Copies of this chain bind each other. A is one copy, B any other.
Amino acid sequence: MLRTHTCGELTINDINKTVTLSGWAQISRNLGGMTFIDLRDRYGITQLAFNLDWDKNLCDQARAVGREFVLQATGEVIERQSKNKNNPTGDIEIKVTILTVLNESITPPFVIEDNTDVSDEIKLKYRYLDLRRNTVRKNLELRHRMAIETRNYLDKLNFLEVETPVLIKSTPEGARDFVVPSRMNQGQFYALPQSPQTFKQLLMVAGFDRYYQIVKCFRDEDLRADRQPEFTQIDCEMSFVEQKDILETFEGLVRHLFKAVKNIDMPHVPHMTYADAMNFYGNDKPDTRFDMKFVAITDIAKGKGFPVFDGAESVIGICAKGAAEYTRKQLDELTDFVKRPQIGATGLIYARHNSDGTIKSSVDKFYNEDDLKQWSKAFNSEPGDLILILAGATEKTQKALSELRLEMGSRLGLRDKDTFSALWVVDFPLLEWNDGDPNLLASLAGRWHAKHHPFTSPKPEDMALLKTDPGAVRANAYDLVINGVEVGGGSIRIHDKSIQAQMFDLLGFTNDEAQKQFGFLMNAFEFGAPPHGGLAFGFDRLCSLFGGSDSIRDFIAFPKNNSGRDMMIDSPSEISEEQLKELSILSTVK
């Protein structure tokens, strides 16, 4: 080893030891006859000391060291005169006797410190320098710890980690696949998995009983800030279980992770139906760190001559505790917020429940004191509260109000990143109508689309609706939501071949198409498929949640940008004619 110790471990107990450290020059300071270099490695920072009186040559050598030079220093551990209580090694320094420059460095494009205001583009291009920053490295250390703890928890419960293939088959019913031309099978393509869904179900047919895998998945979709073309799942499946068994098992995993990684005792996770989540929060992933549930006042608000409410399908609102003192300017900001195109409300009605008990609304012209008291009762408002109301078509209004609720939660400081509130959302709809989702192939528009995926089991009590009212069928499907973030989801699967065939039919597959794409699964179901179900966690997102960040990119070592490019290696890139020819493809781009 080119060191005897790391830069993070020497303390007052090591005084007089001769040690060798290796690392990067964080900073050097010349103070008259003394020169100090902060030597940094993954484990910490240790101060190297040089003195003109001790050794002039060595001191000169130290003064020539630039930022980010790679150094090896041998010397004696001595007690510091001015100690640094903020650094675990701050009581000591190294009186250097041998200094070796292992490698030089040109000046980096940004300083390697916790806070740096350089652009994301530069940080992605020089990701290997960005990763030198403590804050970024700690994110990846957290990720490592999360993975280890996940595996050890599941291993104890007899789950087997099984690697499923990455080169699989394109099944274009879902989001777009990345495909891989085959050289050995000309004119044919592999696809990269969007998830190991069918393989984990086959492992259940194979009797593997309990499977998991921390696995890369791929989706060729238009990217948003929190999406990446390749992402990682904790993918799990169990046999001979009912929904409650799966929820209990994986609630256990999440509680274990909170305890082991963050030393947080997570309370039992409540369940809420999808219908309730939409009614109370207008959102299938409600942030339950704060209450502020929706209240529908459609009945009491209508018929008083206010045309906006009279013409609305729904009149719904929230009660923001303690916000009655909001200024006109703040209320205008909220109105502007809900009127933004991506939210799309036409206006915002409010009522202040003043500290003197009176209630004043922005529509006093139409509603008298008694009317407003009825509102107050409906919202359970108290003096000091602010009632905010939207009206219009139900679904659209719920969505807009959900955004307003989250905004108010943020403004009122109710969304602390170190507070965690988890929720199981259950009984999702089985299907949704595809009006032309840009993340699906255009040829799939105007069809029913599986909300979770085509292997999700309908609720037995809703089976009859499959023929008459498919949109009303509920699934044995569930999501785990923490702080308004969907961190995982899954379902009980269909294990009966005829129901699976019925499902493919409903999704617009001909028998031939279903057989061609999923014949292997339906055939497998002929040979004794056990009842089974499972779920998958978005591992990048789970890590970012634990790390208190909104961005999954911060928790991926080498992320891609919003155009799917790796800025560091400059990929994707052109390939040679020789390669294209061997793969029997032509590029249509000149």
With A163-B557, A176-B582 already in contact, the answer to whether A104 and B528 are too (CB < 8 A) is: yes
* A579 contacts chain B at the CB level, 8 A cutoff: yes
* A371 contacts chain B at the CB level, 8 A cutoff: no
The residue of chain B having its C-beta at the shortest distance from the C-beta of A40 within the complex is B207
Evaluate contact between A68 and B148: CB separation under 8 angstroms: no
Evaluate contact between B41 and A209: CB separation under 8 angstroms: yes
The residue of chain B having its C-beta at the shortest distance from the C-beta of A181 within the complex is B179
With beta carbons under 8 angstroms apart, the residue of B143, B240, B525, B573 that contacts A189 is B573
Give every chain B residue within 8 A of A180 (Cβ-Cβ). Answer: 178-180, 192, 572
Give every chain B residue within 8 A of A105 (Cβ-Cβ). Answer: 526-528
Q: Tell me the complex Cα distance, A42–B530, Å.
A: 12
Give every chain B residue within 8 A of A586 (Cβ-Cβ). Answer: 585-586, 588
What's the nearest-Cβ distance from chain B to residue A149, in Å? 10
With beta carbons under 8 angstroms apart, the residue of B140, B496, B525 that contacts A160 is B140
With A170-B573, A206-B132 already in contact, the answer to whether A108 and B161 are too (CB < 8 A) is: no
With beta carbons under 8 angstroms apart, the residue of B202, B222, B245, B568 that contacts A520 is B568
* A31 contacts chain B at the CB level, 8 A cutoff: no
* A575 contacts chain B at the CB level, 8 A cutoff: yes
Q: 0/1 per residue, A181-200, Cβ < 8 Å to B?
A: 11111111111100000110
Give every chain B residue within 8 A of A557 (Cβ-Cβ). Answer: 162-164, 199, 203
Evaluate contact between A202 and B128: CB separation under 8 angstroms: yes
With A1-B245, A144-B160, A573-B188 already in contact, the answer to whether A207 and B42 are too (CB < 8 A) is: yes
Evaluate contact between B188 and A160: CB separation under 8 angstroms: no
* A232 contacts chain B at the CB level, 8 A cutoff: yes
* A342 contacts chain B at the CB level, 8 A cutoff: no
* A356 contacts chain B at the CB level, 8 A cutoff: no
With A70-B528, A170-B575, A189-B573 already in contact, the answer to whether A209 and B179 are too (CB < 8 A) is: no
Evaluate contact between B184 and A106: CB separation under 8 angstroms: no
Task: Give A85-112 interface residues, CB cut-off 8 Å to B.
Answer: 102-106, 108
Evaluate contact between A167 and B218: CB separation under 8 angstroms: yes
With A148-B155, A207-B24, A563-B185 already in contact, the answer to whether A179 and B527 are too (CB < 8 A) is: no
Q: Tell me the complex Cα distance, A565–B165, Å.
A: 12
Task: Give A6-29 interface residues, CB cut-off 8 Å to B.
Answer: 22-24
For the complex, count residues of A whose C-beta is within 8 A of B: 131
Evaluate contact between B179 and A579: CB separation under 8 angstroms: yes
Give every chain B residue within 8 A of A563 (Cβ-Cβ). Answer: 184-185
Evaluate contact between A216 and B163: CB separation under 8 angstroms: yes
Evaluate contact between B3 and A441: CB separation under 8 angstroms: no
What's the nearest-Cβ distance from chain B to residue A185, in Å? 5
Evaluate contact between A206 and B164: CB separation under 8 angstroms: no
With A1-B240, A529-B70, A557-B164 already in contact, the answer to whether A128 and B245 are too (CB < 8 A) is: no
* A318 contacts chain B at the CB level, 8 A cutoff: no
What's the nearest-Cβ distance from chain B to residue A28, in Å? 14
* A172 contacts chain B at the CB level, 8 A cutoff: yes
Give every chain B residue within 8 A of A225 (Cβ-Cβ). Answer: none
Evaluate contact between A167 and B230: CB separation under 8 angstroms: yes
Evaluate contact between B588 and A131: CB separation under 8 angstroms: no
Most buried by B among A105, A137, A206, A520: A206
Give every chain B residue within 8 A of A163 (Cβ-Cβ). Answer: 143, 216, 232, 556-557
Give every chain B residue within 8 A of A222 (Cβ-Cβ). Answer: 184
With beta carbons under 8 angstroms apart, the residue of B129, B230, B589 that contacts A187 is B589
What's the nearest-Cβ distance from chain B to residue A570, in Å? 7
* A571 contacts chain B at the CB level, 8 A cutoff: yes
The residue of chain B having its C-beta at the shortest distance from the C-beta of A186 within the complex is B589
Q: List 9 A-B contacts (CB under 8 A).
A: A68-B527, A103-B525, A105-B527, A105-B528, A148-B152, A167-B178, A179-B575, A186-B589, A189-B573
Q: Give 7 closest A-B pairs by Cβ, nearest first.
A: A187-B589, A131-B206, A105-B528, A169-B571, A188-B572, A2-B240, A182-B572
Residues of A with Cβ closer than 8 Å to B?
A: 1-3, 22-24, 40-43, 68-70, 72, 102-106, 108, 126-129, 131-132, 137, 140-141, 143-144, 147-148, 151-152, 155, 160-170, 172, 176-192, 198-199, 202-203, 205-209, 216, 218, 220, 222-223, 229-230, 232, 239-242, 245, 441-443, 495-496, 516, 519-520, 524-531, 556-558, 560, 563-566, 568-576, 578-579, 582-590
> Known pairs A40-B207, A70-B528, A162-B557. 5 more at Cβ < 8 A?
A72-B240, A152-B152, A184-B563, A185-B564, A202-B558
